[in-house]
Chain A
Amino acid sequence: MSDIGKAFENGKAFIPFITCGDPDLDTTCRIIKSMAENGADIIELGIPFSDPTAEGPVIQAANERALSGGVTTDDIFDMVRRIRGEVDVPFAFMTYANVVYSYGSEKFISTCRETGVDALILPDLPFEEKGEFAPVCRKFGVDLISLIAPTSSNRVAMIAKEAEGFVYIVSSLGVTGTRSVIDSDLGPIIKTVRENTSVPCAIGFGISTPGQAAEMASISDGAIVGSAIVKMIAQYGKDAPRYVGEYIKKMKDAVR
């Protein structure tokens, strides 16, 4: 078992996302510390990918910035290794199947274990393809997070039954990015999830304001925010840690 479960023990969880190496790994380190100090319950660390097909323009741009800065999977593992002694919030890597597969699944996932990464979120790995990585994740005690979408309908129970860590509920159709209104009816999906697993569930995609986070956390166990934070980093660059910290505090207070 990983430490992911513990993240949901102090009320509703707030889960921020950041693209590693945007604008550079030193800033990423400082942002991670600031997130932890200000109440993040799990930190999603994005490993940049050249062609992130599930991302909207904001996170796509962050991936491009990070890769053009030359960051690699090895550099990111080194960074995690360094910061693990200072931060004890659980980490989840969020990246694309090819980043893991091409590194060597066994080598990637065992290094997750060794450096202290608790979970893996792969948006291009649906239930049917879990077999690609699930046995190795199990071997090294890394949770492979399952995603459920508003279009999952008859698939929700099947996915929830095998979920580990937490269930990532995608709030709406489309790619990542802030939305002014989240109008999917997630109630029935969450009800089915609850009936089929005791693993907590958190909602992501489209959330940016404290009001939205509070609303999403009220119907689930937590809220996940990516693009709103990445936008801040694009705006403030190396000065971002302070602004991100203030934002995390506000959001955590809202979901509590």
Chain B
Amino acid sequence: MSASKGRFGDHGGQYIPETLMNAVIELEEAYEKYKKDPEFNEELSKLFNDYAGRPSRLYYASKMTKDLGGAKIYLKREDLNHTGSHKINNVLGQALLAKKMGKTRLIAETGAGQHGVATATAAALMGMECLVFMGEEDTVRQALNVYRMRLLGAEVIPVRTGTATLKDAVSEAMREWTRRINDTHYCLGSVMGPHPFPTIVRDFQSVISKEIKEQMMETEGRLPDAVIACVGGGSNAMGSFYHFIDDGNVRLIGCEAAGKGVDTFETAATISTGRSGIFHGMKSYFCQDRFGQIAPVYSISAGLDYPGIGPEHAYLHDIGRAEYVPVTDEEAVCAFEYLSKTEGIIPAIESAHAVAYAMKIAKDFTPDQNIVITISGRGDKDCAAIARYRGEDIHE
């Protein structure tokens, strides 16, 4: 028996059909080779800086700081990246890797559409074919992003199976990958799935915490006291946490989508309501019934509407290094409106979950302490849905 790879404590691994094993092994070997290759890294840095607009700003939110009355609030502005979210970091890395591996076609899953748009963008830039799987319900919630992907030359496949949301889009992308492996790279969008994806995606997203660290040292001369990010699969959170894991004094806080509340069935808060399971290629925590059937989850945010969490987050939870807290739809919508009115920044509804929790705890800190909130994406895509939530029917 050969050893399982890609473990974070008990979590992770490679629970996938045999058909895909050589594909993930090939990916792992290519990644190990290129991550140490100066030419690859130079190319990627150039794409990050010249194309995606990195480094992203660390903005001191003075009005919010004053209003909340506690810690100084900094916003890590991933929403200012090209394509409007942190997703581009991972996608540029994976697309470049896929290209080096001789792949000509990218497939991806998407929830809110941000990862789909980022993948379609990278495919257009690098002259690759692109196919995006999106739950049918999400194609309705995020119609504008569907149009953006098509405009960028990608084909969008609405997924009607199961709950017709993000988890079904992941399942369908995995099925497509088993159909066509030779020329296709599955550009997975979060720190989840079988090894090596959780590690690859984390590494490409870790540019976020690398920059936060440098920027905080430059402006405050010290590390932040807390870093707060929203968690679905967990890529922007993992990217925001990574370079702080060894800095024990920095609190790392992941905000899960509680939907209508963790005491209801309409929730997607995996750490709060799930338990250990094996799904989508990994062992981690999942929302499921007592027979292991994956639960239909709910959140107002299509990007956090996922029944699992990346294995490294599950591990950080187990060892107590990171805290995971539930934030409801209502709290997130209030934070969405608050940040828009207070700072003139419309955050993605996903990121608004992190803003909401920061609003709750800011006053527990002293004015010489700092909180960094990662604004993982911009909220233009959510305006119609939030208007509907507030009872106003607007058309995009």
Chain A interface (Cβ within 8 Å of chain B)? 49-51, 53-54, 56-57, 60, 64, 67, 72-74, 96-103, 123-132, 134, 147-155, 158-159, 162, 170, 173-175
Contact = CB atoms under 8 A, between A and B. Distances in A.
Given A53-B175, A152-B22, A130 B277 contact: no
Contacts of A56: 175
Given A97-B278, A99-B291, A126 B16 contact: yes
B288 A102 contact: yes
B15 A49 contact: no
B278 A98 contact: yes
Contact of A134 (B1, B3, B21, B162): B1
Contacts of A151: 18-23, 181
Given A53-B171, A103-B291, A124-B15, A175 B178 contact: yes
B interface, size bucket? 35 or more
A152 B21 CA distance: 8
27 contacts: A50-B293, A51-B162, A51-B168, A54-B175, A73-B291, A96-B278, A98-B278, A98-B288, A98-B294, A99-B292, A101-B276, A101-B283, A102-B291, A126-B18, A126-B21, A127-B2, A127-B18, A128-B4, A128-B5, A129-B15, A131-B1, A134-B1, A149-B17, A152-B22, A154-B22, A173-B179, A174-B179
B161 interface: yes
B291 A51 contact: no
B166 to A, nearest CB: 12
Contact of A149 (B18, B175, B286): B18
Contact of A51 (B21, B22, B171, B178): B171
Contacts of B278: 96-98, 101, 124, 132
Contacts of A147: 17-18
- Name the residue in B19, B161, B283 with the highest tally of chain A Cβ atoms < 10 Å from its Cβ: B19
Given A49-B292, A148-B18, A152-B21, 7 more contacts: A53-B171, A99-B292, A100-B292, A102-B277, A124-B16, A124-B278, A149-B17
A184 to B, nearest CB: 11
A54 B178 contact: yes
Contact of A173 (B167, B178, B288): B178
Interface of B: 1-5, 13-23, 161-162, 167-168, 171, 174-175, 178-181, 275-281, 283, 286, 288, 290-294
A175 to B, nearest CB: 5
B277 to A, nearest CB: 5
Contacts of B180: 173
Nearest to B161: A60
A153 B293 contact: no
A125 B15 contact: yes
B277 A101 contact: yes
A126 B14 contact: yes
Contact of B291 (A72, A97, A134): A72
Most chain B CB inside 10 Å of its own CB: which residue of A127, A153, A174: A174
A102 B22 contact: no
Given A131-B4, A151-B181, A153-B22, A103 B292 contact: yes
Q: Which 7 A-B pairs have the closest CB atoms?
A: A102-B292, A174-B179, A149-B19, A97-B278, A50-B293, A98-B292, A149-B18
B167 to A, nearest CB: 7
Contacts of A158: 2
A173 to B, nearest CB: 6
A153 B145 CA distance: 40
A90 B327 CA distance: 50
B232 to A, nearest CB: 17
A127 B21 contact: yes
Nearest to A95: B292
Nearest to B162: A51
A187 B53 CA distance: 53
Contacts of B174: 53
A43 B290 CA distance: 26
A100 B21 CA distance: 21
B220 to A, nearest CB: 45
B173 to A, nearest CB: 10
